[in-house]
Amino acid sequence: MKAILALEDGTVFRGNSFGATTEACGEVVFNTSMSGYQEIITDPSYKGQIVAMTYPLIGNYGVNNEDTEARKPFVEGFIVREISKIASNWRSSDSLDSYFKKNNVVGIEGVDTRALTLHIREQGAMKAVITTQETDEGKAVESAKRSPGLVGRDLVKEVICSKPYEWNAQGKYHVVALDCGIKLNMLRILAGLNCKVTVMPATSSAADIMNLHPDGLLLSNGPGDPAALSYIVGNVKQLLGKVPIFGICLGHQVIGQALGGATYKLKFGHHGANHPVKDLKTGKVLITVQNHGFCVDTATLSKKDIEITHVNLNDNTLEGMRHKKLPLFSVQFHPEASPGPHDALYLFDRFVEMMKNN
């Protein structure tokens, strides 16, 4: 079936649909990963976004039951140059096309993704629509213009768990993971490091968290504009110094605000499994997984209390920080390493060490 990708600035791409036959809106961004599409489409941080893959052939190893990062796909739509007609892998249980049909996600193939990526790099991420239902390009562009976008939106409440649950019941250290749209591999890694993990929704109060007597608090990744999450920021402020805290991605942005900083929107964000980040303490360069459209403004952070630990080597934006006195650190990238290399897994060991020392 024919499909249209329409951007709010009037740019239109035509192609063929796969997955669901429907219409979806969101902010269109590009992801530079060569593989790991299953982890990308099930990452709750992509709620509200349409993802274009820069690698030209997607879907060749199908979909399996082990590599999902959440209970379902959260990406609004998916753009590829070519969808593989064959899904071949010993773990594969479904094709990407069939998986999208079952989960009502629309995809479009046959798009010049190089041209689209260059356009986003030059003009910035923007609102867009993928539709199999509208053939008039002008009307599709108008639909994109009317869509809500990401700025000022709290999408966390649309992806989190409805009530607390135990991920695993045994472990030396009890970690409360605050679910803002958490990727499951964070929980798997903590369990593998002998941690008992309890997951709580992001709407939980500071008192709810402390009533569980945690040894540490993990603030997870999640979607939307971090500046719209005053309720989470307020609760984290109450927890500073009371329990060791490790923040990842959105959790890092929440911590930045709790420490008095501000966030801002990046032109086209960082999305992919191959972004270089420098650890300023060791000098080592990590190849990291990234998925964020907002960033903490370094200039708004107190140099007296906060040490910058990591920077992005592509644009020098803030990628990591720690508090000089309190048991607290955070990173903007995804050290759980799925998809991507394992360069940053040591940060989970650091979190465990911080709980031990505390």
User: Which of these is catalytic: 27, 69, 109, 336?
Assistant: 336
Closest CA to 21 of 109, 130, 142: 130
What whole-number distance in Å separates Cα of residue 65 and Cα of residue 12? 35
Task: Tell me the sheet residues that pair with 216.
Answer: 175
Q: Residue 347: which of 273, 260, 288 has the closest Cα?
A: 288
Q: What is the pLDDT of residues 75-128, one digit of tens each?
A: 999 999 999 999 999 999 999 999 999 999 999 999 999 999 999 999 999 999
- Please answer whether residues 290 and 332 qualify as being in contact, where contact means their C-beta atoms are separated by less than 8 angstroms: yes
Rg (CA), the chain: 20
Contact 52/358 with Cβ under 8 angstroms? no
pLDDT at residue 339, as a whole number: 64
Domain 2-146 classified CATH 3.40.50.11810?
Answer: no
Q: Is 334 a catalytic residue?
A: yes
Please identify which of the residues 109, 249, 292, 295 carries the catalytic annotation. Answer: 249
Domain boundaries, the chain: 2-146, 156-357
Which residues contact residue 115 at a Cβ distance below 8 angstroms, ignoring those fewer than 6 apart? 13
pLDDT, tens digit, 9 for 90 and up, residues 32-52: 999 999 999 999 999 999 999
Asked if the bond preceding 339 is cis, omega within 30° of 0, the reply is yes
Model pTM score: 0.96
What per-residue confidence (pLDDT) applies to 340?
Answer: 66
Question: What is the mean pLDDT for each group of 10 consecutive residues in the chain (358 residues)?
Answer: 97 98 97 95 97 98 94 97 96 97 98 98 97 95 96 97 96 98 97 98 97 98 97 98 98 98 97 95 95 97 97 98 98 85 92 96
| Contact yes or no for 352/189 (Cβ under 8 A) | no
Which distant-in-sequence residues (6+ apart) come within 8 Å of 342 by Cβ? none
CA angle 151, 155, 159 (to 5 degrees): 160
* All residues at 6 or more sequence positions from 301 whose CB lies less than 8 Å from its CB, including other chains: 256, 259, 260, 261, 308, 321
160's tokens: 């989190």
Looking at the chain, the whole-number percentage of residues with pLDDT higher than 70 is 99
Q: Report the Cα–Cα distance between both ends of the chain, in Å, rounded.
A: 59
Give the list of residues 6+ apart from residue 126 with CB closer than 8 angstroms, or none: 7, 8, 9, 27, 28, 120, 144
pLDDT of residue 51: 98
CB neighbours of 318 closer than 8 A, spacing ≥ 6?
256, 295, 296, 297, 298, 308, 310, 311, 312, 332
Let me know if 88 is exposed, middle or buried by CB neighbors in 10 A (0-12, 13-18, 19+): exposed
Active-site annotation holds for 295: no
Q: Name the fold adopted by 156-357.
A: Rossmann fold (3.40.50)
